């Protein structure tokens, strides 16, 4: 029993988090930066932060994650990190030759109060930024929000620094801000838009960056990622479709106010209904028809849902994760007649989000416990008091799964102990089918395991 100290009795805590269902801002910022072509993320802080952020991303994607650091020592901690960052910019452009450097701050540089725009200005004035190359930044103090906030801040910074207003007619292109999803999800989102005949600028775009093939040749800057030229043109697009209020909302709104590009902010397209909404939005915004190929995939997903409904019906689920993912997954489970009864997000997401979550579960004939933000210790306590049939969450949920002997479907970030998430999507109808398969496998494997010899079913 790894979590044997988790008590069944719930005592309210006000100043203590145990097993947080989140991680720190710069991780999300680093991930978003990698979605720009030929970009070197730069962590402005100590080596410890940078090593942690890189290793978490490397362990999740099973790919070498590149980044650099200002490598603060005691001196920089007292006098500020300007000298370190100026030297780092010089070194990076000389040695690693990226097109773009994306600087994010850390707790330490935020506490010192380093003024990054001023330092970038000095680097420009000192001629440390070669022609045609760029340095931009996002503030990512980790004592606020989580990795989702960091991702949102870095994505918004792409708009703040690069998007240029249209001087004439708008391009017949849609911006898509995919949210904090996997490279496979970004690829699937673009495939759906391409299938509909829509030209897109997607940012960030980590597909073909963090899910690359093994070729025997190391490429520091893989072929994927949105280019700075595309980011500049995002201000001239017809509109923006942003997926995920928390991760994508700030960038979409910034683009609307900076360049007057109208935006629609949707939930993540996870599940049948959410994918319908996404495709309908593309259809309306771009003025194109939905092709037969997508209708076909929809029908396949619906077929699985209806064929296997008896296995989903009434199953109680506990979910932990990031707000955009948790809300989308909750709605999906409710549409399958499952009962998400314990729900926790680690990231503070506000009253509007909490209201949306309550709205999503209001028809469930069962009491539902929701905590925003909460932690996995509390989720475990709830499970001890009201057991569930299934857990959905990241790798850290495996300890609860083991102690309570409940099947776990890995979903969200980080997944450190399984593969697949980088290559197979969870979004769209195809992704929905994959999620259905994972949920069914977990439920039916457990049914097989628990069946007596006489009740063991061959055909299910």
E strands, 132-223, where? Answer: 134-138, 171-177, 199-202
Q: Which is nearer to ligand SF4, 24 or 436 (CB)?
A: 24
Closest distance to ligand SF4 from the beta carbon of 70 (Å): 12
Question: Least distance from C-beta 98 to ligand SF4, angstroms?
Answer: 22
Which CB atom, from 75 or from 121, has the smaller least distance to ligand SF4?
Answer: 75
Beta bridge partners of 451: none
Cβ nearer to ligand SF4, comparing 75 with 199: 75
| 103: contact with ligand SF4 by CB under 6 A | no
Q: Which is nearer to ligand SF4, 106 or 275 (CB)?
A: 106
Least separation in angstroms between residue 327's CB and ligand SF4 is 25
In DSSP terms, which residues pair with 171 in a beta bridge? 237
| Closer by beta carbon to ligand SF4, 45 or else 374 | 45
State in angstroms the smallest separation of the CB of 184 from ligand SF4: 26
Among residues 52, 144, 335, 438, which is the contact residue for ligand SF4, using CB under 6 A? 52
Nearer to ligand SF4, 139 or 275 (CB): 139
Using the minimum distance from each CB to ligand SF4, give the nearer residue, 28 or 407.
28
DSSP letter, residue 367: -
Closer to ligand SF4 by CB, 106 or 345: give it: 106
- Closest CB 109 distance from ligand SF4, rounded Å: 9
Cα separations in angstroms, 159 against 53, 174, 189, 248, 432: 24, 15, 20, 11, 31
- The 10 Å Cβ neighbour count of residue 445 is 11
Binding of ligand SF4 by 67 (CB under 6 A): no
Going by the DSSP 8-state scheme, the letter that residue 20 receives in this structure is: B
Find tokens 């452009």 and name the residue.
93
Distance (Å) of CA 125 to CA 24, 122, 154:
33, 5, 24
Q: What are the structure tokens assigned to 46, written together?
A: 């100590």
CB closer to ligand SF4, 26 vs 340 = 26
Residue 311 touching ligand SF4 (CB under 6 A): no
Handedness of CA 305, 311, 312, 317 (dihedral sign): negative
3-state SS assignment for residue 128: coil
Among 92, 107, 112, 400, binds ligand SF4 (CB under 6 A): 107
Binding mask 270-309 for ligand SF4 (x = CB under 6 A): ----------------------------------------
Backbone phi, then psi, for 198, in 5-degree steps? -105, 130
How many residues touch ligand SF4 under the rule CB under 6 A: the total is 8
Least separation in angstroms between residue 104's CB and ligand SF4 is 9
CA angle, corner 288, sides to 285 and 289, nearest 5? 125
Footprint of ligand SF4 on residues 167-186 (CB under 6 A)?
Answer: none
Stretch binding ligand SF4 (CB under 6 A), from 44-52, 205-213, 409-417, 420-428? 44-52
Could you say whether residue 49 binds ligand SF4 (CB under 6 A)? yes
Contact residue for ligand SF4 among 20, 26, 224, 323 (CB under 6 A): 26
Residue 139's nearest CA partner among 231, 56, 45 is: 45
In Å, what is the CA distance from 151 to each residue of 180, 236, 247, 426?
7, 23, 6, 19
Q: Which is nearer to ligand SF4, 45 or 204 (CB)?
A: 45
Query: Structure tokens of 239?
Result: 């509109």
For the record, the structure tokens of 48 come out as: 């410890």
Please tell me whether residue 24 binds ligand SF4 under the rule CB under 6 A: yes
Residue 70 touching ligand SF4 (CB under 6 A): no
**From 45-53, 55-63, 149-157, 306-314, span contacting ligand SF4 (CB under 6 A):** 45-53
Q: Is the CB of residue 450 less than 8 Å from the CB of residue 389?
A: no
- How many whole angstroms separate alpha carbon 33 and alpha carbon 180? 12
Give the nearer residue to ligand SF4 in terms of CB position, either 29 or 159: 29
Q: Looking at 70, 142, 245, 248, which residue binds ligand SF4 (CB under 6 A)?
A: 142
**Closest distance to ligand SF4 from the beta carbon of 313 (Å):** 42
In terms of CB distance, is 24 or 119 closer to ligand SF4? Answer: 24
- Encode burial over 395-413: b for 16+ CB neighbours within 10 A, e otherwise: bbbbbbbebbebbbbbbbb
Closest CA to 179 of 276, 250, 272, 268: 268
- Give min distance, CB of 58 to ligand SF4, in A: 15
By the rule CB under 6 A, 106 interacts with ligand SF4:
yes
Neighbours of 323 (CB within 10 A): 27
Contact residues for ligand SF4, defined by CB under 6 A? 24, 26, 45, 49, 52, 106-107, 142
């Amino acid at each position: 029993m790894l979590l044997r100290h988790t008590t069944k009795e719930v005592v309210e805590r006000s100043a203590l988090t145990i097993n947080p269902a989140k991680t720190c801002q710069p991780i999300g910022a680093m991930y978003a930066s990698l979605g720009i072509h030929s970009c070197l993320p730069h962590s402005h802080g100590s080596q410890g932060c940078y090593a942690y952020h890189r290793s978490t991303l490397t362990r999740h994607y099973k790919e070498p994650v590149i980044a650099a650091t200002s490598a603060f020592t005691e001196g920089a901690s007292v006098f500020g990190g300007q000298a370190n960052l100026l030297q780092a910019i010089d070194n990076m452009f000389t040695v690693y030759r990226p097109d773009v450097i994306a600087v994010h701050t850390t707790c330490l540089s935020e506490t010192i109060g380093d003024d990054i725009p001023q330092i970038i200005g000095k680097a420009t004035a000192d001629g440390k930024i070669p022609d045609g190359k760029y340095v931009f930044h996002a503030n990512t103090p980790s004592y606020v929000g989580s990795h989702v906030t960091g991702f949102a801040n870095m994505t918004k910074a792409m708009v703040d620094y690069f998007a240029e207003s249209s001087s004439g007619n708008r391009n017949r292109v849609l911006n898509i801000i995919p949210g904090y999803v996997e490279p496979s999800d970004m690829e699937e989102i673009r495939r759906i838009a391409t299938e509909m005949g829509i030209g897109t600028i997607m940012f960030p775009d980590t597909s073909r960056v963090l899910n690359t093939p093994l070729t025997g040749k190391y490429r520091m800057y893989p072929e994927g990622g949105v280019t700075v030229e595309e980011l500049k043109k995002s201000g001239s697009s017809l509109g923006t479709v942003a997926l995920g209020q928390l991760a994508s909302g700030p960038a979409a709104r910034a683009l609307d106010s900076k360049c007057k590009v109208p935006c629609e902010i949707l939930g993540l397209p996870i599940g049948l209904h959410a994918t319908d909404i996404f495709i309908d939005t593309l259809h309306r915004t771009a003025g194109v028809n939905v092709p037969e190929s997508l209708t076909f995939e929809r029908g396949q997903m619906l077929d699985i849902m209806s064929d296997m409904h008896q296995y989903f019906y009434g199953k109680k689920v506990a979910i932990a994760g990031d707000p955009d993912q948790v809300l989308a997954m909750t709605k999906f489970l409710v549409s399958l007649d499952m009962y998400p009864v314990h729900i926790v997000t680690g990231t503070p997401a506000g009253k509007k989000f909490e209201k949306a979550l309550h709205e999503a579960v209001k028809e469930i004939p069962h009491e539902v416990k929701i905590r925003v933000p909460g932690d996995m210790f509390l989720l475990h306590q709830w499970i001890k008091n009201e057991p569930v049939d299934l857990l959905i969450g990241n790798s850290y949920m495996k300890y609860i799964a083991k102690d309570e002997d409940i099947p776990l479907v890995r979903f969200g970030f980080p997944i450190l102990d399984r593969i697949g998430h980088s290559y197979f999507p969870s979004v769209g109808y195809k992704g929905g089918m994959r999620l259905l398969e994972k949920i069914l496998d977990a439920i039916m494997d457990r049914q097989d395991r628990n069946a007596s010899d006489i009740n063991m079913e061959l055909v299910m």
